[in-house]
Amino acid sequence: RIMRQNALLLERKPAVPPSKRAHTGRVAVKESNQRWCSDGFEFCCDNGERLRVTFALDCCDREALHWAVTTGGFNSETVQDVMLGAVERRFGNDLPSSPVEWLTDNGSCYRANETRQFARMLGLEPKNTAVRSPESNGIAESFVKTIKRDYISIMPKPDGLTAAKNLAEAFEHYNEWHPHSALG
């Protein structure tokens, strides 16, 4: 009350009108290697260093197929590295026999022409979610929440190198031991 009287309150963030687009589809699929999703997140180390992580998940079995960590920004080269790593993990030196959907948000690193062309070369079919619709990539968004809550919040991260090593263990644990409620 006193702050309001002295005009010391911050302005409220304007409300974003709800999307008129209905969200009736499903991101999850019934078989592996039909649709993969990708996204990125960042976190801060104890020394102030910021790490940015890009990852790819299978929308059926929720396996983290590949990931990359950097102190730089999210860019198309990193996304392409993750794409290649995911294809190699699932198909070895072969390409998929039928295209795998590659579902992402509308980040510039995903929309870049080089990234989309590279995806098609690997047998991936790039698909973007609707603008301002994070729920359209809900599996990736849920993964970010899980990895931050169950792993990053408790792992030692005094600096970037230590955090990257511990993140590798976190991804391995997530793939091998973490329960996935959607899988029953």
Q: What is the pLDDT along the chain (184 residues), one digit of tens a residue?
A: 787 888 777 666 666 555 554 555 566 788 999 999 999 999 999 999 999 999 999 999 999 999 999 999 889 999 999 999 999 999 999 999 999 999 999 889 999 999 999 999 999 999 988 766 766 788 899 999 999 999 999 999 999 999 999 999 999 999 998 876 554 4
Count of domains in the chain?
1
Reported pTM: 0.82
Burial zone of 100 (CB within 10 Å; 0-12 exposed, 13-18 middle, 19+ buried)? buried
CA distance 124 to 38: 12
Say if 45 falls within a structural domain.
yes
Say if 137 falls within a structural domain.
yes
Say if 40 falls within a structural domain.
yes
Say if 21 falls within a structural domain.
no
Rounded to the nearest angstrom, the gap between the alpha carbon of residue 19 and the centroid of all alpha carbons in its chain is: 22
Say if 151 falls within a structural domain.
yes
Say if 114 falls within a structural domain.
yes
DSSP string, 4-31: HHTT-SPPPPPPPPPP-S-----S--SS
CATH number at residue 125: 3.30.420.10
Range of the domain at 119: 31-159
| Per-residue pLDDT at 101 | 95
Say if 26 falls within a structural domain.
no
Say if 173 falls within a structural domain.
no
Which residues are CB-contacts of 119 (< 8 A; sequence separation ≥ 6)?
83, 102, 125, 126
